[in-house]
Amino acid sequence: MEGKQFTQEKQEKKERIVLVFDVGTQSTRALLINNRGSILAKAQKKHEPPYVSPDTDYAEQDAQFYYGKLCEAALTLKEKEPERWARVEAVSLTAIRSTCVCVDREGTPIRPAFVWLDNRKAEGTPRFSQLSRIMLKAVGMEQTANMQYRKAQCNWMREKEPENWEKTYKYLMISGYLIFRLTGKMVDSAASMVGRVPFDHRTRTWQKKSDLTRPVFPIEPEKLCEIVEPGEMLGRVSAKAAADTGLPEGLPLIASGSDKACEILGLGCITKEKAAISFGTTATVTFTTDAYVEPERFIPPYASVMRGHFTPEIEIFRGYWLVSWFKREFAAKEIETAQTLGISAEELLNRRLKEVPAGCEGLIFQPYFTPNTTMPVAKGAVIGFSDVHTRIHIYRAIIEGINFALMDGLKLLEKQSGHKFLEIYVGGGGAQSDEICQITADMFGLPVIRTQTFEVSGIGSAIAAFVGMGEFTDYEEAVGSMVFKKDFFSPDMQQHQIYNTLYEEIFRNIYGRLSPLYQRLNDIYK
């Protein structure tokens, strides 16, 4: 009954439409979204390949490739929905994070973009003053600062491609580059500044020269773009972009945020009791708070789309990328059968999850294929193999392993913030699966909620646009009008007990026991 009343209330508002570009790792989507939270039409263009690896640990993509896909999606959508296209009042854009582009004064990329999966490393260390180094060492932060410095592509460029660094006029996120292509302005949103750049998430602007950690990412101030707040206008569609995309010249482009920032907003997680989990290429667990809460020591919470708020977050860098990896390496049979049935291979694999009991009969998967700050030598691992195990056991173990890692993250966020989560909202490609949603509810022992669409980043970006247009007075009103619960998965507490035992007694101990071996492997194969 409540759902019907809610729908009726939403329909009383006059329909308005915005266009959202959602540029992900695997594809670019153009979405027509109204002020009731409905996706009216969609065009999607796959990224094939999503990136290239010219050397070990490298992940690159031509920045103009992303703009080309954006234009293709726009033109397809215009042809598909000409009447609704004509009613678009504004555009917003959300994109993958930590994907950096070096451009010259004309905005032409100097080299391929560094995709977020890139793991190359610089060799130097930050140029701290003696006093700063003493202070950092005193609080145990020196090692973290050194590691972050080495993982920053800007520092790698200074060492390995100094001539390209010299040519760089602006060091942009991919969102900033696409905004430039659409408007001619080198500007970006405060909620998109996630990456190894000198951004202060507390003040929502670039770090000052005097800030203690400024030498970690020593990008010259003149190479950094202008920052605006979500909801503010970034610029207007230029004549060139209008010709490329089919959009009217002069249409406003309104700031939103990165894909994850928009995702948490699009799930309606604007209070701290609601955890947002993304089952995307990168799997994340996060929440929104008005307090500055570090998710891990010395790691800042990111700037929320909502001004004055933060989103502390734990990432599993190659989260549902592992599903693509499994499908490519082990699921030839399912791919062939799925083609015959006219469904995706993922859907067929997810149906088969029910064939394997909770805990995969002792098979435990650790999904840390990419090291992070707190686990610098981590690798992937599977333990517990026996003769009962099949490929589908491995598949379910991957799903459970990602969730075990996210459970680690959720418990850490609860500890850091001093509160308990009551509900989990899920988004990303994996959230389309009822089986994965139910497994998640069982593992966390909390209700899992799916909203009206899995395109939650697009919904969040549209919310920012509508707030900026004055359609809603604030984000709370916008979320109330544009986000609603669609599916509810209650936890099976008997299943939860199985998972909790495996988590507490097995999974939490894997990294500590195996880390010396990981370190030795890194030494051998570095």
**What is the residue-wise DSSP string for 417-453?**
HT----EEEEESGGGG-HHHHHHHHHHHTS-EEEES-
Asked if the model's pLDDT at residue 8 lies above 70, the reply is no
Distance of CA 136 to the CA centre of its chain: 30
Q: Are residues 36 and 126 in the same domain?
A: yes
Asked if the model's pLDDT at residue 7 lies above 60, the reply is no
Asked if the model's pLDDT at residue 79 lies above 60, the reply is yes
Which residue, 3, 86, 30, is CA-closest to 455?
30
> For the chain, what percentages of helix, strand and coil (3-state, to nearest 5) are there?
45, 20, 35
- What is the reported pLDDT for 35? 98
Instruction: For residue range 146-185, list pLDDT tens digits in order.
Output: 999 999 999 999 999 999 999 999 999 999 999 999 999 9
Q: Are residues 516 and 389 in the same domain?
A: yes
Q: How large is the angle between the packed helices 456-468 and 475-482, nearest 10 degrees?
A: 130
* C-alpha dist (Å) from residue 394 to 231, 267, 438: 44, 30, 18
Cα–Cα distance measured from residue 427 to residue 458, given in angstroms and rounded to the nearest whole number = 11
**Confidence at 377, pLDDT banded by 50, 70, 90:** confident
Q: Which run of H or of E encompasses 513?
A: helix 508-525
Q: Which run of H or of E encompasses 61?
A: strand 60-61
pTM score of the predicted model: 0.92
Q: Are residues 182 and 247 in the same domain?
A: yes
| 437 falls within a domain | no
Asked if the model's pLDDT at residue 248 lies above 90, the reply is yes
Contacts of 271 (CB under 8 A, 6+ apart): 288
Q: What average pLDDT does range 4-28 have in this prediction?
A: 78
Q: Are residues 55 and 145 in the same domain?
A: yes
| Three-state secondary structure call for residue 237 | coil
Instruction: For residue range 262-271, list pLDDT tens digits in order.
Output: 999 999 999 9
Phi, psi of 310, deg, nearest 5: -130, 160
| Dihedral angle sign, alpha carbons of residues 5, 83, 464, 217 | positive
Tell me the longest C-alpha to C-alpha distance in the chain: 67
- What is the reported pLDDT for 12? 67
45: left (phi over 0), alpha (psi -120 to 50) or beta: beta
- Cα-based angle 332, 334, 338 (whole degrees, multiple of 5): 120
Q: Are residues 327 and 308 in the same domain?
A: no
Q: What average pLDDT does range 20-46 have in this prediction?
A: 97
How many structural domains is the chain composed of? 3
Q: Strand 39-46 relative to strand 27-34: parallel, antiparallel, unpaired?
A: antiparallel
Q: Are residues 360 and 283 in the same domain?
A: no
Per the prediction, the chain carries an average pLDDT of 94
CATH of residue 389's domain is 3.30.420.40
Instruction: For residue range 463-473, list pLDDT tens digits in order.
Output: 999 999 999 99
Q: Are residues 194 and 301 in the same domain?
A: no
Instruction: Determine how many CB atoms are found less than 10 A away from the CB of residue 243.
Output: 11
Least confident of 76-80, 142-146, 413-417, 447-451: 142-146
Q: Are residues 34 and 147 in the same domain?
A: yes
Distance of CA 83 to the CA centre of its chain: 32
Cα–Cα distance measured from residue 51 to residue 64, given in angstroms and rounded to the nearest whole number = 13
Q: What average pLDDT does range 270-292 have in this prediction?
A: 95
Cα–Cα distance measured from residue 183 to residue 199, given in angstroms and rounded to the nearest whole number = 23
Asked if the model's pLDDT at residue 384 lies above 50, the reply is yes
**Confidence at 9, pLDDT banded by 50, 70, 90:** very low
Distance of CA 293 to the CA centre of its chain: 19
| 349 falls within a domain | yes
Query: Which residue range is the domain that position 299 belongs to?
Result: 267-316+446-489
- What is the reported pLDDT for 183? 98
Q: What average pLDDT does range 381-395 have in this prediction?
A: 96
* Tokens, residue 31: 């979405």
Q: Are residues 160 and 104 in the same domain?
A: yes
Q: Are residues 291 and 371 in the same domain?
A: no
* Residue length of the chain: 526
Q: Are residues 49 and 176 in the same domain?
A: yes
Cα–Cα distance measured from residue 181 to residue 217, given in angstroms and rounded to the nearest whole number = 26
**Confidence at 143, pLDDT banded by 50, 70, 90:** confident
- What is the reported pLDDT for 342? 94
- What is the reported pLDDT for 373? 66
Q: Which residues pair with 383 in a beta bridge?
A: 364
Place of tokens 């998972």: 499
